[in-house]
Structures are given as C-alpha cells and as structure tokens.
Amino acid sequence: MTSRSLRRSLRATTRIFRGQCLSSGVRSWVAIALFAFASLASAQTAITTRAVTVRAGPDGSFPPVTWLVGGTSVAVVGCLATWRWCDVGVGRDRGWISARYLAYTFNGREITIRDGGPQLGLPSIEFSIVPYWDEHYQGRPFFGRRLYWQNRMENRAPAPAWRPPRSGASSDARPAP
C-alpha cells in the first residue's frame, strides 16, 4: 500500500468513525479490520529461506493455507515463546510458518528466527484457535473442523523451551516439519 492510498484510507476511516456513513454494527467490523491492518503494519519483515507451507496453526499437521516460494517477504506478527512457529501475513493470507524457514536481518546479518529467538526483539504471542480461525478462516474448507483441531491442540505435549543453537549448528540442517 502506497503512502498516498494509506492517507486516503485513513481519511475515509476518520469519516466513518465520526458516524457519517456507517451503523454501529458495521463500525465494529471496521474497527476489527483496522486492528488487523494495524497489527500487520507494525509487523517485522522476514524472508522465507525455501519453499514453505503456510499453515492454519503452529504445527505441521494443521491444514495448509497457502504455499510460498523461497525468498518471499512476509510480515511477522509474532512468534510462539518457543520460537518454533511464527504468525505471518502475506498478501491476503494469514497463517503460521516454521521459524526455521524464516530469515530475519539482525545486526547486519541474516539469521533464522528459530536460531535468533528472543534476542531478535520480535513479539512473543500465543495461539488460540477459536478467535484466530474466526478472524482469518471463515469460509475455508477446513473451518468446519475447528473443534477437531482445537481438541488436537489441547491434547498435544507442550513444546520444549527455546534454547540458543550450539555454535556452528544450523537449524537448516534439521528435517522439515
């Protein structure tokens, strides 16, 4: 989005919130959309290190949302505290990518988010399937199985805590999820 179109959008939004054109129900939806836009606008940019599947949740078993080629820029909204999965936005899609396949520039060099962990300064976030799927996946074929996926998430073992990589070790040597 160009700065000109962003300014135009903000002017239109200002008119909307002054009550000039929308009912309160529609204003609520506009507020939600603006919040979602603001979260992506404040996100940090990372690059996919190889072809990846964007998933509907932070695990390789979640349904695919889309596929990206290596070298694709994504907006990182935040990552789980284990630094294994990150919530990203790309185009109209929103989903989760394994942090080992996301490179982020830190102190002048590219490092995978999995290896950089908390020192990168990216937000640490949590995943809750119901509000996340309600906001991003209504109308998708897998949305009707939301309770199945919620039960799967609640019954899985917790992921181990983040540890810095051993010197000389690279997360790219690990097998793909």
Give per-residue pLDDT as tens, 98-131.
999 999 988 888 999 999 988 999 999 999 999 9
Label residues 28-67 b or e (16+ Cβ within 10 Å = b).
eeeeeebeeeebeeebbebebbeebbbbbbbbeebbebee
| CA pair distance 12, 71, nearest whole angstrom | 35
Give per-residue pLDDT as tens, 33-68.
434 444 444 569 999 999 999 999 999 999 999 999
- Mean pLDDT of the 23-42 span: 42
Give the residue from 51, 44, 56, 27 showing the smallest Cα distance to 136.
56
**Which residues have a Cβ under 8 Å from the Cβ of 9 and sit 6 or more positions away?**
1
Name the DSSP letter for residue 167: T
Topology of domain 44-158, CATH: SH3 type barrels. (2.30.30)
| CA pair distance 112, 83, nearest whole angstrom | 10
- Mean pLDDT of the 136-154 span: 91
